[in-house]
Amino acid sequence: IKVYSTMKAAEAANLIAAIDQDLALRIISGMKSKIAGQVLSQLDVKVAKTISEKLAGKTIDSKKQP
């Protein structure tokens, strides 16, 4: 995660777009919010949408659990 966080947003987005979406989700969720937003903004809209929805679902699910 640290490696992707230190890359330029466009470079990180290119690599994230090429890997498995579950792995991409884990990488982006481990980034600081500002960096994750920059990377998501560089991704293809469909890829960013899918990852964003999974991130939101993950956050909602974790809040529902006791």
pLDDT in tens, 15-36: 999 999 999 999 999 999 999 9
Return the residue matching tokens 């290119």: 14
Please compute Rg for the chain using Cα positions: 12
Predicted pLDDT at 30: 95
Which of 26, 33, 23, 28 shows the shortest CA–CA distance to 12? Answer: 28
With cut-offs at 50, 70 and 90, classify the pLDDT of residue 38.
very high
Which of 44, 29, 38 shows the shortest CA–CA distance to 6? Answer: 38
**43-to-36, 39, 60, 65 alpha-carbon distances in Å:** 11, 7, 23, 31
